[in-house]
Amino acid sequence: MEFTSVLFYVFGFCFVASAALMVSSRNTMKAAMLLILSFFSAASIWLLLEAEFLAVTLILVYVGAVMVLFLFVIKMLDVDQSTLRAKFTKYLPLGIVVAAIVIAQMALVLSAGQFGLDVVAEPARHAADYSNITELANVLYTAYVYPFELAAVLLLIAIIAAITLVHRKGSRSKKQDVSEQVNVQAKDRMRIVSIPSGKRKESK
Amino acid sequence: MIALSDYLILSAIVFCIGLAGIFINRTNIIMLLMCVELILAAVNTNFIAFSYYGNDVAGQIFVFFILTVAAAEVAIGLAILTLMYRNRGSIDVDVTNSLKG
């Protein structure tokens, strides 16, 4: 057994196991942590497939940004776990049935022998000075430059949409109104009240 | 030697786990979003495996765009989730039935 095969089975086992544990976990925080583990395993598998740039991107963008966002929301919302827990087993049979059907369908497709080593041979590994990033950039900035720009615009739209959705108007912002400050009168700021002095209590 | 089918089987298994997770955790929207992320990771593994064995870098470019769209989707999804929690005090899917006829 080759060393890369061993690596594949180790990372694949981690991927599947963490995914299964995440799905069956009732604690959302624990599930997020297990999802991070499964992303790391997926990135390792992508490294075996010589997609170094995407593997690093998956860890930087997904673990570094997206999952941190998830953890923020989980901690901020303080979800009531008890009501969610009660309904956990309600849909379990349905989920298992659907997953079994999909697994059966995919097994029928994959077991037809179209993707074995005798049909699709493993390509030769690239040399040590091969740069995946250069390879990607050569295509990304020439043939795919238009979708690339569109992706940038899409991210901008996502930023604006997310901010406008959760932005609260008025009550929280403390901005100054210059005209109101200039036109202020003394009586707006200070009110003189005449209070009659009370009778002093004599002490014995 | 690892065949292409090994990678495809691996990602098929993870895909099915994510799909089952959507059914199991139907009431918790955060878990639904995380299961969608898991499914996307499985699909991306498929793309990269085909890209490697087909010796074509276009598959990796597609994964790049999927990652972009997924990041945007998560940002907006979590914003909607926050809004929903603020308005209703719960993220239970069964509570959101105001459009029910």
CB A15 within 8 A of CB B10: yes
Which pTM does this prediction carry? 0.82
CA atoms of A55 and A59, how far apart (whole Å)? 7
Domain A1-80 has CATH 1.20.120.1200: yes
CA atoms of A19 and A11, how far apart (whole Å)? 12
**Interface predicted TM-score (ipTM):** 0.91
The amino acid at B4: L
Burial class (CB in 10 A: 0-12, 13-18, 19+), B90: middle
**Neighboring chain A residues of B52 at a CB cutoff of 8 Å:** 49-51, 123
Tokens representing A20 are 């299964």
CA atoms of B38 and B66, how far apart (whole Å)? 13
Reply yes or no on whether the pLDDT at A93 is more than 80.
yes
Q: How far is B65 from chain A (nearest CA, A)?
A: 7
Q: Do B13 and A16 touch (CB under 8 A)?
A: yes
Residue spans per domain, chain B: 27-92
Span A170-195, average pLDDT: 82
Q: How far is A115 from chain B (nearest CA, A)?
A: 5
At A121-150, the pLDDT tens digits run 788 888 888 888 998 999 999 999 999 999
The per-residue pLDDT for A53 is: 93
